[in-house]
Amino acid sequence: MSGPDAPADDAEAGESEWPLWEVFTQPGAGRPHEHAGSLHAPDAELALQNARDVYTRRGEAVSIWVVRSDAIVASSPSEAGPFFEPGNDKAYRHPQFYKVPRGVRSV
């Protein structure tokens, strides 16, 4: 393989960047998987192995999920206001909205 002096050879040898994967780690049994970061890998198997080496060198996880970044659909920050508005103005979805007579417990 070529060094940096021969970039044309790099391209021929398939030196384009590998797909990006998002890594989710579960810190312990019964806990939810949380986003840990991302990495590049040519396939799912190597993505899992790389995720183990990059994100769990000190027993940080009992389980790992990897998912291709381009498979994730995310909400848009610029639309966050109207998008989340239906859940933000409904005080009656919270217990504090409802009045209970004084002294009554466990309601």
Partner 1 sequence: MSQTTPDASRSPADEPARLAAFEARLAAGDSIEPKDWMPERYRRQLIRMMSQHAHSEIVGMLPEGNWITRAPNLRRKMGLLAKVQDEAGHGLYIYCGTETLGVDRRELIRQLLDGSAKYSSIFNYPTLTWADIGAIGWLVDGAAIVNQTMLAKASYGPYARAMVRICKEENFHKRQGYEILATLMRGTAAQRAMAQDAVDRWWWPSLMMFGPHDEQSPNSAELLRWGVKQRGNDELRQRFVDQTVPQAIAIGITLPDPDLAYDEVAGHWTFGEIDWAEFWTVVKGQGPCNRERLGARRKADADGAWVRAAAEAHARKQRERARSQAA
Give the interface with partner 1 as residue ranges (CB under 8 A): 1-4, 7, 13-18, 20, 22, 37-40, 42-43, 45-46, 53-54, 57-58, 69, 72, 74, 76-78
Output the DSSP codes for 29-74. Answer: TTSPPEEEEEEE-SSHHHHHHHHHHHH-TTS--SEEEEEEGGG---
Q: Provide, rounded to whole angstroms, the least separation between the CB of residue 33 and partner 1.
A: 15
36, exposed or middle or buried, with CB in 10 Å at 0-12, 13-18, 19+? buried
Rounded Cα–Cα distance for residues 72 and 76 (Å):
12
Whichever of 17 and 95 has its CB closer to partner 1, that residue is 17
How distant is the alpha carbon of residue 40 from its chain centre? 14
Rounded Cα–Cα distance for residues 61 and 55 (Å):
9
Whichever of 13 and 62 has its CB closer to partner 1, that residue is 13
* Secondary structure (3-state) at 100: coil
Q: Provide, rounded to whole angstroms, the least separation between the CB of residue 63 and partner 1.
A: 18
Whichever of 1 and 104 has its CB closer to partner 1, that residue is 1
Whichever of 14 and 95 has its CB closer to partner 1, that residue is 14
Q: Provide, rounded to whole angstroms, the least separation between the CB of residue 105 and partner 1.
A: 39
Q: Provide, rounded to whole angstroms, the least separation between the CB of residue 17 and partner 1.
A: 4
